[in-house]
Structure 1
Amino acid sequence: MNRDTRNAAIAAISIMILFGLFAFYLPTIMLAAGKVSGILAAFVAVLFIFALFLVFWLRSRAQRRRGQ
């Protein structure tokens, strides 16, 4: 394993752990937000999905830039 693949593996496991923990606690967070407002609970779910795709988009841009 060279330096580039090691860094990619560390980044991937970090992202998986972060989003895994957030997904594990997402129902609890949504129930708490739902007590305040149903729209707020939906916003929390949308924010989770948006953040996941944002990370993937930023990662693809960084790799595309490195490849050129």
Structure 2
Amino acid sequence: MADQPTGNRSAIIAAALIFLGMLIGGYFLPDAVNYLAQYSVWLAVAVGIAFVLAVFLVFWLRGRYQKRHGR
């Protein structure tokens, strides 16, 4: 791993952080949605949709960053 360029290492770290964030968010999402559904079903649905859209937003932003920096 010592002979890999720095770009590969940063891509691996970014992928690991994105995956870890999705894993933690996905783990707590059902509990959060169930808790919020006690107050408002629409709020619970909005949080679920926001989580799914956030996943795509992160990958879209990552792609823009890579495109802008020529990677």
TM-score by length of 2: 0.89
Runs of 4+ aligned structure 1 residues displaced above 6 Å come to: none
Q: 1:40 — aligned with what?
A: 43
Structure 1: runs of 5 or more not aligned:
none
Q: 1:24 — aligned with what?
A: 27
| Residue identity opposite 2:64 in structure 1 | R
Q: Partner of 1:36: helix, strand, or coil?
A: coil
Q: Which has the higher contact order (CA 8 A, sep 6+)?
A: 2
Structure 2: runs of 5 or more not aligned:
none
TM-score by length of 1: 0.93
Q: Pairwise CA RMSD of aligned residues?
A: 1.2
Give the count of matched residue pairs: 68
Q: 2:10 — aligned with what?
A: 7
| Distance of 1:2 and 1:26 partners within structure 2 | 36
